[in-house]
Amino acid sequence: MDYLIGGLYYILGNDTVWGPWIRGICGLIAMGIILVFAMFAVWLERKYAGDIQSRIGPNRVGGSHGELQLIADAIKLFTKEDLKPDKVDTPLWAGAPILMFGSALLMLVAIPFGAFVFYGRDYPLAVTQFDVSILYLEAVSAIGIVGIFMAGWGSNNKFSVIAAFRNMARMIGYEVPLGLTIVSVAIMAHSLNIVDIVSAQSHIWYVIVAPLGFVIYMVALIADLGRIPFDQNEAEEELIAGWATEYSGMRFGLGYFAEYIHMVLGACITVILFFGGWNLPGILVNLHPIFGLLPFAWFVFKVVLVLMFIIMVRWALPRIRIDQVTTLGWKVLLPLALLNLAWTSVIGVIW
Domain containing 262: what range?
A: 2-350
How many Å is the Cα radius of gyration of the chain?
A: 21
Q: Is 263:172 a contact under the CB 8 Å cutoff?
A: no
Residue 15, pLDDT score: 47
CA 144 to chain centre: 12
Residue-wise pLDDT tens digits, 57-99: 777 776 667 777 777 877 887 787 777 777 777 788 888 888 8
Nearest by Cα to 2 from 118, 115, 116, 117: 118
Bridge partner residues of 124 (DSSP): 115
Cis peptide before 229 (omega within 30 of 0): yes
Q: Is 184:213 a contact under the CB 8 Å cutoff?
A: yes
Task: Report the interhelical angle of 20-52 vs 294-316 (nearest 10°).
Answer: 40
CA distance 347 to 351: 6
Which residues of the chain fall short of a pLDDT of 70?
1-27, 30, 62-64, 117-123, 235-238, 281-292
Q: How far is CA 254 from CA 29, 35, 76, 230, in A?
A: 20, 12, 14, 21
Residue 24, pLDDT score: 64
Nearest by Cα to 226 from 154, 169, 185: 169
| One-letter amino acid for residue 217 of the chain | Y
The full DSSP string for 26-87 is: HHHHHHHHHHHHHHHHHHHHHHHHHHHTT---S-SSSTTTTTTHHHHHHHHHHTS-----TT
- What count of other Cβ atoms lies within 10 Å of the Cβ of residue 79? 9
Q: Is 246:157 a contact under the CB 8 Å cutoff?
A: yes
- Backbone phi and psi for residue 122, each to the nearest 5 degrees, phi listed first: -95, 135
3-class secondary-structure state, position 123: strand
CA distance 113 to 40: 16
Q: Which residues of 325-348 are buried (b: 16+ CB within 10 A; e: fewer)?
A: bbebbeeebbebbeebbebbeeee
Q: Is 39:211 a contact under the CB 8 Å cutoff?
A: no
HSE-up of residue 244 (Cα within 13 Å, Cβ side):
21
The pTM of this model reads 0.83
CA 198 to chain centre: 17
Name 333's Cβ contacts closer than 8 Å, sequence gap at least 6.
174, 177, 216, 219, 220
Residue 215, pLDDT score: 93
Name 5's Cβ contacts closer than 8 Å, sequence gap at least 6.
118, 119, 289
| DSSP structure class, residue 132 | T
3-class secondary-structure state, position 122: strand
Torsion sign across C-alpha atoms 35, 56, 251, 81: positive
- Backbone phi and psi for residue 178, each to the nearest 5 degrees, phi listed first: -65, -45
Q: Is 113:125 a contact under the CB 8 Å cutoff?
A: yes
Helix, strand and coil percent figures for the chain, each rounded to 5 = 70, 0, 30
Q: Is 279:52 a contact under the CB 8 Å cutoff?
A: no
Number of domains in the chain: 1
Residue 152, pLDDT score: 79
